[in-house]
Amino acid sequence: MITEFLITSGEQPKRLDLFLVNRERDISRSALQRLIELGRIRVNDQMVKASHKIKPGDRITMDVPKPEPLSIKGEAIPLEVMFEDDSLLMLNKPPGIVVHPAPGNWTGTLVNALLHHFQTSGGTISTIGGKERPGLVHRLDKETSGVMVITKTDAAHRALAAQFKLHTITRVYEALIWGVPKKGRGLIELAIGRDIKDRKKFSPRTTSPKESATEYAVERRYGKMAAHVLLYPRTGRTHQLRVHLTSLGHPILGDHTYGGRKVCTVGDVEIPRVMLHARTLGFTHPATGTVEDFTRPMPGDMERVMYELEQLIISGEKKPRGPVTDMHVAEDAC
């Protein structure tokens, strides 16, 4: 996998290996030094030493070999199946589970659960996504709950992937956000891509911006503390809803990556995770041609937070400290 960094004017001169170890948290400094020695990490297309001092304007490219697991095995992880036929499986993903295996998460993922499900039921699963992403045409972040579709055949996979690409899929999310937007409804249009300073984040400060748009509607206001909103993404960029709401000044409650530590509590209400739920997923069934629509209400942890916010209103409103506008808030654990 090739990754590129462009050193901006605000970056202070430092050793190449030190610069990278702060941005590649899954790779040790010694491993980065070996990659530099092998020429897999270059500065301005030139081989350099680990001690090379980077400066503004430098372009760093990394060609990191993709680690392969020995095998991905099915695991008896419970699944909430909403619907299943010969082409599709619809499920309600719980929060806290990673969708597909990746370095650091080769087990305990939704894919491990799916493999076990199909092994025990005798069903098939699409192979287009490869052994790490069988049946997956879309994904939800680890902490996001809600409706997902899994394809059981390659034909179903191709048909649904085309619908996602053409943005003909109906998607409705709901979120609890920090503070309250001035407008009850609106459209957020903001091109985003992988952040130039932190490759684990997405933002408008990127070398590869992709147009993205999200409609929102405020469903419930909790004084000036927080709001319950419905979200209608017109595009499907990574972290789109989280970045768009942060750009509006109202990050999702519990999203410490984009909102910082302040969004982890409201008054005395502790926020257990990113308060985002994929409520509805609608599409044309790839085999029957019928329009299908699957909806699941928000899970209990979000309902509990909403109840506690209601109690805060009753006991006396608590106002946030001010809007979040910086897309690069330090990532603090909640």
- Determine which one of 141, 195, 255, 301 is catalytic: 141
Contact (Cβ atoms closer than 8 angstroms) between residue 227 and residue 233 = no
Contact (Cβ atoms closer than 8 angstroms) between residue 178 and residue 256 = no
DSSP H helical segments within 24-140, as ranges? Answer: 29-37, 110-121
Handedness of CA 187, 190, 191, 196 (dihedral sign): negative
Instruction: Tokens 């430092």: give the residue.
Output: 14
CA angle 114, 103, 149 (to 5 degrees): 30
DSSP H helical segments within the chain, as ranges? Answer: 16-21, 29-37, 110-121, 154-165, 240-247, 256-259, 300-315
Distance separating alpha carbons of residues 253 and 249, to the nearest angstrom? 12
**HSE of 4 in the Cβ direction (CA atoms, 13 Å)?**
10
Q: In DSSP terms, which residues pair with 94 in a beta bridge?
A: none
- The answer to whether residue 141 is catalytic is yes
In the structure encoding, which two tokens stand for residue 283, read together? 């599409």
The set of catalytic residues is 141
